[in-house]
Amino acid sequence: MMTRRRRTPFSRTLAISVLGFALSGSMTLLSGCSKETPEAQRPPPQVGVLTIAPQTIPFSPTFVAQTESSRQVNIVARVSGFLDRIAYGEGELVKQGQLMFVLDPKPFRAQLNAAKGELESQQARLSTAKATYGRVKPLAEQDALPQSDLDRAKGELDAATAAVFSARAKVEEAQLNLGYAQISSPVTGVAGRALQRQGAYINSIADSANLTYVAAVDPIWVNFSISQNQYARWSRERDKGQLVTPKDDNYEVEIVLPGAVHYPYKGKISFAEPTYSQDTGSFLVRAVLPNPKHDLSPGMFVTAIVEGALRPDAIVVPQLAVQQGSNGHLVYVINADGVAEIRPVVVGDYYGDKDIVILGGLRGGDRVVIDGVQKVVPGHAVTIVAPAGASKAPDAPKK
C-alpha cells in the first residue's frame, strides 16, 4: 500500500515562485512584440491653409442710424379765433402752400372794414388840413394873418398826415389777420394729426395755438454717432498708413433697411457735430439722402454704411482662423518645415460676412491654417490639403 507524500511549506513556496516567473516572462514577451506607441503611429493632421497676399480693400464701417425730417415745421395759429375747418388729410403728403386750417373769418373781415373806414376818415381830415394850410401860407407870408395861424395850420397838416399813416397800418394789420385765418403749409412734406378739432377756440398765445406739424421727407436726414474710441482708433490707423480717407472727406452713405433691403439711393455726409456728447462720449454725424418715392419716414431705424475709405496692403483672413487666447488673438501658421506655430495677431474690423482684417502679426507669404484648426498641435507637423469650401481672401476692388 502506497502512502501519499505530504507537501511541505517549502514546496508550496517554490511552486508559487515558479508560476510568478512564468507570468512575468510572458508579459515581457507580449510587450516586446510592439515597440511603437499609438502616438507614433498616428499620421499628421490634415489642414487647409491660406497663403497671405496683401491687397487693397474698401473700408466701410457700419452704424445704427435713424432717419429724421430735413425740415420739420410746427403749424401754429398766429391769430385767435374759432377753428372753422380742417382742410387736409392727417398723415398725408401736403404741398407747399396747401390750405390746412381755416379759422372763422367773419371777425377779421369786420376788423378790416373798420380799419378801412378809419383810413378814409383820416384821409378826409388830411385833405382839409392841406386846403387850410394852402390858404393860410400865402396870407401869412403877406402878413395878412399872424404867424401863429400858419403854425397851427402846419401842425394840423402834419397830424393829419401821421393819422393817415397810422390808419393805413391798421388796415394792413387787419388784412394780415384775415390772411392768418387761413393756415397753409410752408413746406412740402407729411402732415401729422390735428391737435385741435372744428369748433375749438384757438388762442394764439396759449398751447391751443399748436395745430400740427409738417415734416419734409425729400431729402431726408440719416443720423448716426461715432464714439470717441472709434474715431481715435481710425485716426491712428490713418496716421500709420493703414487707412486712406477720400479727398475732402467726400464720403458716400448707403443705408440698409430692415430685412437686409438696400435702399436704392445713396447720400453724402453734410454735418458732423464739433463736440462730443457728455452722456454717450460720441458725436453726431448727419447724411442727406434723396427720398423721391417717400420710402423713408422720419424716425425709422436703419443701418448706415459709410463708403469711400480704403485699406491699402490689407491682410484678410477668415474669422474661423482667428482664435482667442489668454493674452489676445492668435492664428496657427505653418512654417517652411510643415510645422505648426502659434502667431499672436492684432485684429481690426470685420470685412464682409466671414472675414476679418489683421492689423499686425502677419505678412505676405505666411501660411495660415483656416481649415482643421482644432486638429493643430503647436510644434507638430501637419499635412496641407485643399481647404474645405475653397475659402480665400476677397479680391481687391476694381479701380
Other CB atoms within 10 Å distance of the CB of residue 41: 8
Torsion of CA 241, 353, 256, 226, to 10 degrees: -40
The domains of the chain are located at 46-57+311-390, 62-69+218-310, 105-180
Nearest alpha carbon to residue 382 among 340, 327, 331: 340
So what's the pLDDT on residue 246? 92
Contact call for residues 335 and 25 (beta carbons, < 8 A): no
So what's the pLDDT on residue 389? 62
Sign of the dihedral defined by the CA atoms of residues 85, 90, 94, 96, in that order: positive
Bridge pairing between strands 383-385 and 46-51:
parallel
Residue by residue, pLDDT tens for the chain (399 residues) are 444 444 444 344 434 444 444 444 444 434 444 444 555 567 899 999 999 999 999 999 999 999 999 999 999 999 999 999 999 999 999 999 999 999 999 999 999 999 999 999 999 999 999 999 999 989 888 888 898 988 999 999 999 999 999 999 999 999 999 999 999 999 999 999 999 999 999 999 998 899 999 999 999 999 999 999 999 999 999 999 989 999 988 999 999 999 999 999 999 999 999 999 999 999 999 999 999 999 999 999 999 999 999 999 999 999 999 999 888 999 999 999 999 999 999 998 889 889 999 999 999 999 999 999 999 999 999 999 988 765 444 444 443
So what's the pLDDT on residue 7? 45
Q: Which cell is 338 given?
A: 510643415
For 336, counting Cβ atoms within 10 Å of its Cβ (0-12 exposed, 13-18 middle, 19+ buried), the class is exposed
So what's the pLDDT on residue 10? 38
Amino acid of residue 218 = D
What CATH number labels 46-57+311-390?
2.40.420.20
Q: Which cell is 51 given?
A: 497663403
| Residues comprising the chain, all counted | 399
Identify the CATH assignment for 62-69+218-310 out of 1.10.3720.10, 3.40.50.10310, 3.20.20.150, 2.40.30.170.
2.40.30.170
Q: Which architecture, in CATH terms, is 105-180? A: Orthogonal Bundle (1.10)
Q: What are the residues whose beta carbons fall under 8 Å from the beta carbon of 344, sequence distance 6 or more?
A: 325, 327, 328, 329, 330, 361
Whole-angstrom distance, CA of residue 177 vs CA of residue 164: 20
Nearest alpha carbon to residue 70 among 194, 190, 183, 211: 190
Q: What are the residues whose beta carbons fall under 8 Å from the beta carbon of 336, sequence distance 6 or more?
A: none
Strand, helix or coil for residue 100? strand
Dump the DSSP string for 286-340. EEEE--TT----TT-EEEEEEE-EEEEEEEEEEGGG-EEETTEEEEEEE-TTSBE
Whole-angstrom distance, CA of residue 199 vs CA of residue 19: 119
Q: Which cell is 219 given?
A: 431729402
Whole-angstrom distance, CA of residue 321 vs CA of residue 342: 12
So what's the pLDDT on residue 37? 52
So what's the pLDDT on residue 41? 63
Q: Across the strands, what pairs with 350?
A: 356
Whole-angstrom distance, CA of residue 397 vs CA of residue 399: 6
